Amino acid sequence: MNKSFQLDIVTPTKSFTFDNIVYVECPGTEGYFGVLKNHTNSIIDLKEGIISVKTEDSNLKFTCSSGIADINSDSSDDLPDKVLLLVENVQELQE
């Protein structure tokens, strides 16, 4: 069983698309929240903070401004799970 999903981070001027995401942690207005495959379908407000992305091969971090997280999951595995983060600004952090 595949335990990964797709992540898109979109701003008005650029976008990032990642496949094979295992886990993503985002700064919500109620505190940080994490997303795994088969997460409950949700729309969550984002605040300024750090987005942590864990792929099957690496870990990435981004600073972001406020925005919205749209989490779409299909528990039947007929459609791929997808997380869409719509933010005003995003920048990858170099480690």
Task: Give the helix/strand (H/E) hosting 64.
Answer: strand 59-64
Of 83, 76, 95, 90, whose CA–CA distance to 12 is shortest? 90
pTM: 0.88
* Widest CA span in the chain: 37
How far is the C-alpha of 65 from the C-alpha of 46, rounded, in Å?
8
CATH at 45: 2.60.15.10
Provide the number of structural domains found in the chain.
Answer: 1
Q: Residue 64: which region, alpha, beta or left (left: phi > 0; alpha: psi -120 to 50)? A: beta
Residue 15's domain comprises 5-93
- Report the SS3 class of residue 15: strand
Give tens-digit pLDDT for 22-72.
999 999 999 999 999 888 899 999 999 999 999 988 999 999 999 999 999
